[in-house]
Amino acid sequence: MKKHFKLAAISLAVLSTTAFAQDSSEPEYKQWFGLSGMFYNTDPGRPLTEGVYDDGQGISFEYGFRFTQSWAARIEYTDLELDYTSAISTGSTSEDGEMVGIDALYFMPDDMYYLFGGIKRQSVGESTTLANVGIGKHWDLSDTVKVITEIATYHDFGEDYNDYSVKVGVSIPFGKSTPAAPQDSDNDGVVDSRDQCPMTPAGVRVDATGCSVDNDNDGVLNSVDQCPNTPAGTKVDAKGCAIKDADNDGVVDAMDECPDTAAGVKVDAKGCTVFDEETVEITLRVLFDNESAVVKMPKDPEISEFAEFMKQYPSTTAVIEGHTSAPGSEAYNMDLSERRAANFKDVMVDMYGIDSDRLETIGYGESRLLDTASNAEAHRVNRRISVTVKDTVKVPEEK
């Protein structure tokens, strides 16, 4: 029993120290008077000179004061009567006395219950000083009346015994706190606790957060918006008026020196396309039959791709080189290579519409063999024309 009492006292002290540092809110009510009936049970081992005490009862009066919503103190007086059995005479009698003391109370959130602890001076027959801890609750009966319920245990450190009590009664709270009027520092009609713009100039219309209204949601407040009905999504200037940008390149028309910029390309501060230099190149090789200068498949995909490249980069030119295999005379092979180059040029001009001035032909005969072996495969790859187009061009830089 002694261990339980000491543990409860230590727990209450720790809880009190922590909670007192955290709570400073205004209480619901500041004071109360209470009147209660008490059942008091004495420790069977409580020593007396000539007998023992048994259970008893009393009437308790208390006055309490709440410092914060969580913390309070009270003074309590109890008119106490304990049953007494004498060791000398037979039968039992009762002895009247009193118990006076003070308590510190800690109310849990929403007044769910409270813990208390304090010191009592009990004078019934013999006087003794008791420490007490307990738990209680003020039950709401009405706005002006609460029901008191408490359980407490008492410890006499001098004689080393423990009593306990149960108390039921009523309390009358008074002195309710009056909440302070909410402040509105900038006088805009929105209290400071909800005002996200606490320095709004006088006369400016604000929304529920206390900030100046922007009806067209263009990012320019109504107080300075000279075009307050701008359609949603329109880019506006500092005055809230639409910025015209016909090619949507990010440069307003008034400053755009290139108003028809293609979509998706980077532009400079004047609205003109930013170009990068890029090297472009394509190489084509076409094979011929033995002793033939005829282009067998003029619509071959590789030939078509070469022609499209020439059209895409109209500033380029090309040199068509004719070649032959080793067999045959040097003069014959030179003539054959020149005819092969010329015939391929005709295909480019007549079939694909490439300007003839962009194409030059030259024959090398057997002087530039790809494969110097003397076999059918080497002869096959050497019977050819080859052409390479390479140029440095400017291309728009993409965003």
Over residues 360-396, the pLDDT tens digits come to 999 999 999 999 999 999 999 999 999 999 888 777 8
- Determine the pLDDT at residue 300: 94
Whether pTM > 0.85 for this model: the answer is: no
pLDDT at 19 over 70: no
- Write the pLDDT tens digit of every residue in 282-322: 999 999 999 999 999 999 999 999 999 999 888 889 999 99
Tokens matching residue 118: 């304090």
- Determine the pLDDT at residue 24: 52
pLDDT at 211 over 90: no
d(CA 57, CA 285): 121
d(CA 34, CA 38): 12
Average pLDDT over every residue of 31-52: 82
- Determine the pLDDT at residue 394: 75
Count Cβ atoms within 10 A of the Cβ of residue 165 and give its class: 0-12 exposed, 13-18 middle, 19 or more buried. Answer: buried
pLDDT at 1 over 50: no
Q: Which of 41-50, 128-137, 184-193, 330-339 has the lowest mean pLDDT?
A: 41-50
Average pLDDT over every residue of 68-84: 90
- Determine the pLDDT at residue 106: 95
Average pLDDT over every residue of 255-266: 78
- Determine the pLDDT at residue 334: 95
pLDDT at 95 over 90: no
- Determine the pLDDT at residue 113: 94
pLDDT at 219 over 90: no
Q: Which of 127-141, 228-242, 271-285 has the lowest mean pLDDT?
A: 228-242
pLDDT at 206 over 90: no
Q: Apex CA 358: angle with CA 285 and CA 294, to 5°?
A: 40
Q: Apex CA 34: angle with CA 31 and CA 39, to 5°?
A: 145
d(CA 155, CA 300): 111
Q: Which of 66-75, 170-179, 250-259, 264-273 has the lowest mean pLDDT?
A: 250-259
pLDDT at 43 over 70: yes
- Determine the pLDDT at residue 187: 85
Q: Which of 158-167, 308-317, 318-327 has the lowest mean pLDDT?
A: 158-167
Name the residue with higher pLDDT: 27 or 70. 70
Average pLDDT over every residue of 19-33: 67
Q: Domains of the chain, with CATH numbers?
A: 2-176 (2.40.160.20), 277-396 (3.30.1330.60)
Q: What percent of the chain has pLDDT over 90?
A: 45
Average pLDDT over every residue of 202-213: 80
d(CA 326, CA 368): 10
Average pLDDT over every residue of 27-53: 81
d(CA 15, CA 250): 64
pLDDT at 347 over 60: yes
- Determine the pLDDT at residue 89: 59
Half-sphere exposure of 313 (CA within 13 A, CB side): 19
Q: How many CB atoms lie within 10 A of CB 368?
A: 13
- Determine the pLDDT at residue 52: 67
- Determine the pLDDT at residue 21: 43
- Determine the pLDDT at residue 349: 95
Beta strands in the chain (DSSP E): 29-41, 51-66, 71-86, 92-107, 114-124, 126-140, 146-156, 161-176, 275-287, 318-323, 359-363, 384-396
- pLDDT bucket at 3, cuts 50 / 70 / 90: very low
- Determine the pLDDT at residue 23: 53
pLDDT at 337 over 90: yes
Name the residue with higher pLDDT: 274 or 58. 58
Average pLDDT of every residue of the chain: 84
- pLDDT bucket at 47, cuts 50 / 70 / 90: low
